[in-house]
A and B are shown apart, each in its own frame.
Chain A
Amino acid sequence: MSADSPLLSIENLHVEVEDKEILKGVNLVINVGETHALMGRNGSGKSTLSYTLMGHPKYKVTGGCMKYKGQDITEMPTDERARLGLTLAFQYPVAIPGVSVSNFLRASVKAVRGQEIPVKEFRKELKEVMDRLGVPKQFLSRYVNDGFSGGEKKRLEIMQLALLKPQMAILDETDSGLDIDALKTVSEGVNSLVSKDSAILLITHYQRILNYVKPDHVHVFHEGKIVLSGGPELSTKLEEHGYDWVTQELASTTA
């Protein structure tokens, strides 16, 4: 990667799910050190974008490409992307009965770092992250995302990211379903993921998380693409006025 090439760039991305086109030409450039917020109506395709960035087999790229650190990752298997530092906090984390959170975390940390870490060291690291994000110790022996409340699942997602320290994290509605205190802790967790070498893409419906996690760029997603981009003021405007004005402006410019 050359020093000035973006961390992630998405060029004219088209994606089909079950023979239906959902993404219709997404363009987005994210540089290290940046926080991007992605907003948009239900069903506009935000999660589709996040799954496609991670290479979910159901989501077929029919046009365009995705580059991470200058490398085309469009055809790259999911786990390789993850090991390059790209990961996703799921909007709907899937339950995996029988697999305990602690076993899973160990396997995951080992895979991402490429080596086994001593048990003692791992425990210490885990304890630090759990304390910071208010994740109770009992969660470790429970099954991955199984029987947890909505908010608890989101906490677990952010805890995993805090442990794995991805360079490029996509957070898909990690703020949904959190109580007021949890929102604050989770936001701190999100903030800790940003450094001069890393970046985040935060998908959200609400201004409240953006009070804690200050975005550099805000984008509006509409019918499978980004139709409007701006600074932090854009999210405030959306919070006040909704999306109608965006669609109306779109209609008048294309008419």
Chain B
Amino acid sequence: MSTITREGVDNLSIDRGEPEWLKVFRVNALEKFLQSPNPSIKSDTWRKTRVDKLNLAEIKTSSPAFQSPGNKTEQQVLERFSERAGAVFSTTGNSWRVDLDEKLEKAGVVFVPIDEAIKNHAESLKTLLESETRNIDESKDKFDWMQEALFNCGAYLEIPANLVIEKPFLVVNKLDKSEAGCSLFPRVLIKAGKHSKVSVVNAFVCDDELDSTVDGDVKKLSLVNARNLIHAEAGSSVSYIEVQALGDNCFMVGKSTGNVTADASISTLTVGVGGYQLKSEISTRLLEAGAHGAMLGVVFGDMNEHMSYNTIQEHAAPNTTSDINFRVALKDEAVSAYQGNIKVDKVAQKTNAYQTNKNLLLGKSAKADSIPKLEILANDVKCSHGATVGPVDQDQVFYLMVRGLDKKTAEELIVAGFFDTVLESLPDKVANDWIHDLIKTKIHKERA
């Protein structure tokens, strides 16, 4: 039974002892959710997705009992990032802080689960949530409203001005797959103070031994509906890595928005390596002069996986720059759709916007498509975009085989290299190694 009802939302708010303003926020969102139509696979942003395979009535949104992180999937992630600034862990409906560097806490860093932020940092949180509502209300769809109505885990991170932190903050979201039809509605809010520097790794994982809950022919899907909001104040620098490594019965809808102010920069890397459907929108809004946004993507699908990525680089002020490099490789019958939006407002003169999307087809039945969408209203801009879709270059394979590599090893090396041209710019070695391992496992994975 679906709990996406007024009663469900009321109970969620009451159980958590939430303040009135948040309850109003949620109820308003619920109403919009109920009024919104299901997204259509004919629409620009949901084309080629499997949204019509997701039965919302089968999704359970109630919070189960508290679980502590003892399970191996999340422990492995935590162990990898042993050199970290702090960690918050979320699982179905609950979040808690694993740790936070004491020195950072003393220096004024706030890194808490979202419900604690609601209690103790209500003002900042409210401002962040409401700014988002005001700005993009009309562009929200059913899943956005669902997220607003139901978000029940995640983290809030606030970095004071001038603090430079090299070690990453880790947020791990684990989907509990022991039950089909479970759901996760995490929300991560990041506020980087003036001239601060911070890096965040936001990971979505699940236990692999619980893959494929098949009931007859129909897969029972689980749902992750995630929201992420970054606010980079003047001169700050934020690195955000999102790893989507879910199982083949997980439907993930994600939306990430970065607001970049004067001379600040946000660099995002989205890694999509597992899910029944991964559907993400990543947007960077360059709001003041000198703002820079970089958006990288490394997406690797196999079997019947569907991957859908929309990027939005929005230039809302003069003298701003953006740079997108999104790479997709597909094995077997995997399908992907990429849409790259470049928006340049009338005032945004001297914009420099760059976008490239490359798709490598490894399976004969794999399909990828790429659509650029340009909306350029200023006249003094530099803007370039390019996309390629194609199989592995046979001359490259031949070259490697002439040096003794068998065909499979040759192709694997080429695919790893294809992603490496994106990952080489990643400063965090631990994150880099993890992403490499995820890709490597998938490259070597044989069809069951």
Contacts and interface: CB of A to CB of B under 8 A. Distances in A.
B103 interface: no
Nearest to A113: B404
Q: A57, A83, A99 — which one has the most chain B CB atoms within 10 A of its CB? A: A99
Nearest to A98: B417
Contact of B398 (A78, A97, A103, A104): A78
Contacts of A74: none
A116 to B, nearest CB: 13
Given A78-B398, A90-B399, A103 B413 contact: yes
A204 interface: no
B407 interface: yes
Interface in B239-264: none
Interface string A29-67: 000000000000000000000000010111000000000
Contact of A143 (B394, B410, B417): B417
Given A94-B393, A96-B396, A160 B403 contact: yes
B402 A111 contact: no
Contacts of B409: 107, 111
B405 A111 contact: yes
A167 B124 CA distance: 72
Nearest to B399: A94
A112 interface: yes
A173 to B, nearest CB: 16
A79 B401 contact: yes
Given A98-B417, A98-B420, A98-B421, A107 B402 contact: no
- Chain A contact-residue range equals 20 to 34
A111 B408 CA distance: 12
Interface residues of B, number: 25
Contact of A111 (B396, B404, B417): B404
Given A99-B413, A107-B409, A94 B396 contact: yes
Given A97-B417, A98-B416, A99-B417, A108 B405 contact: yes
B414 A78 contact: no
A16 to B, nearest CB: 17
A200 interface: no
Of residues A77, A111, A143, which shows the largest number of chain B Cβ atoms within 10 Å of its Cβ?
Answer: A111
A164 B421 contact: no
A11 to B, nearest CB: 22
Contacts of B424: 98
Interface in B389-435: 393-396, 398-407, 409-410, 413-414, 416-421, 424
A153 to B, nearest CB: 12
A171 B224 CA distance: 56
B403 A97 contact: no
A251 to B, nearest CB: 37
A98 B411 CA distance: 12
22 contacts: A54-B398, A57-B394, A77-B407, A82-B401, A82-B402, A87-B402, A87-B404, A90-B399, A94-B393, A96-B414, A97-B417, A98-B416, A98-B417, A98-B420, A99-B413, A99-B414, A104-B413, A107-B400, A108-B400, A112-B403, A143-B421, A164-B404
Interface of B: 393-396, 398-407, 409-410, 413-414, 416-421, 424
